[in-house]
Amino acid sequence: MPRFRLIATGGTIASRHSPLGLLAGATGAELLAQSGLGALDVEIDDFTTQGSYAFSLADLLALARRTRDALAGGADAVVITHGTDTMEESAFLLDLFHGDRRPVVLTGAQRPFDSPAPDGPANLAAAFAVAASAHARGLGSLLVFDGSAWQARGVRKVETLASGAFGSPGRGPCLRVAPDGVLPLGAQPRPPAFDLDAVDELPRVDVVAAYAGCDGALLDAAVAAGARGVVLQALGAGNACPAVVQTVKRLVARGVPVLVCSRAFSGPVTPLYTAGGGADLDRAGAVFAGDLSPWQARLLLSVALTHKPEDPGPVISQWLRRPSPDGV
């Protein structure tokens, strides 16, 4: 029987109704008992109890260390219960540091622990099924929800309240949980992991959206507030406007890296247009982040800044383009 570590962090799956609103409080043992899984070799770690909307970068880095410690302590797989709001970010950050073939599986719920029909028990049971499956090995950090499993890169919350909360636009799930077992679908290659020991803290990186009539004021404000880098959530395939291009050019010249993503859900960014478009952002020194969401690109830039603070662009470009030869 595999040895599991269940790391409980709160979220809707652990929440009960209170006079002020839903409040996380159920322990990992309570979640495990509610799931009806029966006899499993599970060590429970109640890491924190909060909604994921309240997580800080320090919390995410601490969760990455706790996950690594669980694997170093002999766990065959780690299952993490987590709020859905920022689960896509936690899964991605854990994946950036996960250079191990053993599965790390995140799950949660859209309906609370004390709901008349909670979805958490089925999601947790599916997460353990995936964690125990040979098909999950080498896929890195996985997000399991509503019967499907997604690799961390590209996964997004696509529904605010519905039970099918997650998707991976342009990529799709990698595993399906069926009554007779876990079925493989399609896996994407993974770049080599970053060195967690080289990271003391994650520097601040802000996301600034482009929209019709925008200018560079919010980019400047982010840097003035302490951002070491900025992700531009650009239009279409990576466009902005002349005023934003000029601001990006000035920030890059000051040593502030700018990553370009899209506000569209699917497809990569690429430098095509001039007169304020992506071709001008490219010439201004911005780095195009493929099809990463702005929220995942923010974490990639933050980690890259810890490894090469003076010029993280090549680190990011290499990560985007170079899969690991052995899938880890």
Catalytic residue numbers, as ranges? 12
Sign of the four-CA dihedral 4, 5, 9, 10: positive
Instruction: Please state, in angstroms and rounded to a whole number, the distance separating the CA atoms of residues 88 and 113.
Output: 21
Q: Which helix (H) or strand (E) holds 79?
A: strand 77-81
DSSP string, 251-283: HHHTT--EEEEESSSSS-------SSSHHHHHH
Cβ–Cβ < 8 Å for 78, 72: no
CB 85 within 8 A of CB 106: no
- Residue 127 in 3-state DSSP? helix
101 with 75: CB under 8 angstroms? no
Q: What are the structure tokens assigned to 160, written together?
A: 């605010």
Task: Determine contact, residues 90/108, Cβ cutoff 8 Å.
Answer: no
Cβ atoms of 62 and 201 closer than 8 Å: no
Q: Could you tell me which residues come within 8 angstroms of residue 86 by beta carbon, excluding any fewer than 6 positions away?
A: 52, 53, 55, 295
